Amino acid sequence: MMNPMQFIQLMRGGNPMQMLMNMVSQNPNLKNVMPLVQNQNGGLKSETDLKQVYENLCKTRGVDPVQFARQNGVNLPG
């Protein structure tokens, strides 16, 4: 499992795809998430696209996206 320092370093290093791949290798259930966040070239979708995926997932679960983000300590970009 990735320790918090590794997580912070990956986020600051600007390589979120590497972070996701590490997470997928440690949790096979996350393999289902990869098609949602990858673009056609295998990289990450744009921030706008990722926000739309997040909002759609929340909507299908009947969850308010802003409230859910706040509950998890995340400030959504405008």
Residues comprising the chain, all counted: 78
At 62 the pLDDT is 94
42: left (phi over 0), alpha (psi -120 to 50) or beta: left
Rg (CA), the chain: 13
At 4 the pLDDT is 63
pLDDT digits (tens, 9 = 90+) for 7-64: 566 556 656 666 667 777 777 777 787 787 788 887 777 878 888 888 888 899 899 9
| Chain centroid, CA 25 distance in Å | 15
Q: How many CA atoms lie within 13 A of 57 on its CB side?
A: 12
User: How far apart are alpha carbons 33 and 9 in whole angstroms?
Assistant: 22
Beta bridge partners of 44: 38
pTM of the model: 0.57
Instruction: State the pLDDT confidence band at 2, using cuts at 50, 70 and 90.
Output: low
